[in-house]
Amino acid sequence: MKKLFRTLPLLVCALLFGALPAWAQAVSFSDPTGDDNGPGGYTYPTDAVYKAGSFDLTKFEVNAKGDKVEFEVTVNSNLDDPWRMGVGFSVQMIFVFIDTDGKEGSGFTDSPPGVNVAFAPASAWDKCVILSPQAFARVHQEIEAKGGAMQASLLAPNRVRGSGRTISGSVSLSDLGGGDPATWGYQVVMQSNEGFPADNDLLTRKVNEFEGQHRFGGGTDGDCDPHVMDVLGEGQAAMLAYECNADGSSKKKATLTMVRKG
């Protein structure tokens, strides 16, 4: 009996190895390192769990196979799970915005609550995949409660995982509206997983004027600044440039554009 117990897992592993999938289509983007400072002056929270490079997006990859599309986001620091989220990472949260139709003005030019960015009309997004270490049900409930008109376009993978420096999750191609992922436009927004978000934030961590133990610094105490540490592509500082009115409301919102292959 003991021998059986000792050999059974090996058999299971062997079976699993036999079932390894082969990926078909892949789209890959790289992002400069050292730009995990939002518009240029954002700073990390002071708690030791926020390791340097944790929010520095370095690579984004889309893999499509059959009806599944997997999104992989790589950061400039090894992933840790200090809050025991159980998926291999804790502090990051990522929004993957997708322009599936490439039509100007088609889709959303605003962002989910707590991100505080806009999208250029030519880069309006149609779908957004949220890679969060929170349980699927929590993310889903947040989307339901705070997603508003975007609700149906915000997607949470059933399972998200972190390994090495890469966070990944997949959704079905049909939920993304079908099509060829290689032709879509993408924007990736690096945020942080906040288990106790403000009423109007979708699991996002705030950026304030001064950093705190669990708050980013370098922005403003209002919501006129983008609550974003890194985005995909060149020209990040220009995209994330913003202006505030004296009362803290937005005068000019940070405006993102999509990145496309080819």
Partner 1 sequence: MRSRSRIWLAVLGLLGLAAGSALAEDTQKLTWSGVDYTKFLWSTARDSGGLYSFTTIPSEAYGNNGQGTELELLLSAKPSKHVEVSGRIQSRFNQNFWTNFGGFGGRSNFIDPNNPCVSGDCGEFDSRSAQYVKFRGLTVTLRPGYSWVDQVTVGSSDWGMFDPFTIGKIRYIDRDNGSGLLFQGSAAGRKFTYDFARISLPRLWAGPNFQTGTYHAQDAAYGLQLGFTPSSTFDITGVVQYVNDIEVDNFDRNRDDGRDIRTRFRNTVVGARLGVHPSSTFDIRAMYYKSSADSIPELGAPANFFGLSGFSPVPAGELSDDAIKLNVDINDPFDNGLSFSIEAFDIGAEYVSMMAARREADVLLTEGHDAAWAFPGPSNAAFGVFGGNPTRIGYGGWQGSAQQVATINVDNEFTDFEEPMAETVIGWKGFTIVPSWTIGDLELKAEYSWIDYNTNWQAFDDPSRSVTSSVFPVHELDTGVGHNFRSAYAPFQDKETKIAVLSGRYLIDVGRGVDLFGKIKFVDETDKRLNEARFLPYQAGDCPGGGGACAGNRNFYSTGNTTADIYGNPPVITVNGVTGYQWKPFDSLSDDDRDLSYMMLQLGAGYQLSNRLYGSLTYEYYDAELEDGNTAFQAYQLHELASGDHQKNKVMLYAHYDLGGAEFGANYEYNFGDFDPDFGSGFVVQFADEATSASNNVPVGSPGFRGRFGGWNSLETRDFEQQRLKVFMKVRF
Binding stretches for partner 1 (CB under 8 A): 2, 5-6, 8-10, 12-13, 16-17, 19-21, 23, 33-34, 43, 46-49, 52-53, 56, 58-59, 68, 74, 76-78, 84, 135-138, 140-142, 144-145, 158-159, 161, 163-165, 196, 209-213, 221
What is the C-alpha to C-alpha distance for residues 257 and 98, in angstroms, rounded to an integer? Answer: 11
Q: How far apart are CA 11 and CA 19, in angstroms?
A: 13
Closest to partner 1 by CB, 161 or 260: 161
CA angle 59, 23, 70 (to 5 degrees): 50
Which H/E stretch holds residue 15? Answer: helix 2-18
Cβ 230 to partner 1, closest distance in Å?
A: 12
First-to-last alpha carbon distance for the chain, in angstroms, is: 59
Taking the C-alpha atoms of residue 31 and residue 211, their distance in angstroms, rounded to an integer, is 25
**Phi and psi (nearest 5°) for 71?**
-110, 130
Closer CB to partner 1, residue 53 or residue 179? 53
Q: How far is 183 from 224, CA to CA, in rounded Å?
A: 32
- Shortest distance, position 12 Cβ to partner 1, whole Å: 6
Least distance (Å) from partner 1 to the CB of residue 104? 33
Nearer to partner 1, 101 or 175 (CB): 175
- Residue 79 beta carbon to partner 1: minimum distance, rounded to whole angstroms: 10
* Cα gap 154→213, rounded to integer Å: 29
Q: What are phi and psi of 3, to 5 degrees?
A: -65, -40
Q: CB nearer to partner 1: give 55 or 125.
A: 55
Given the complex with partner 1, which of 148 and 210 has the nearer CB atom?
Answer: 210
Name the amino acid, one letter, at 171: V
Least gap, CB of 255 to partner 1 (angstroms): 25
Burial of 172 from C-beta contacts in 10 A (0-12 / 13-18 / 19+): middle
Closer by beta carbon to partner 1, 105 or else 199: 199
Distance in Å, CB of 117 to partner 1, minimum:
23
Phi-psi region of 187 (alpha: psi -120 to 50; beta: other; left: phi over 0): beta
Shortest CB 167 distance to partner 1, Å: 12
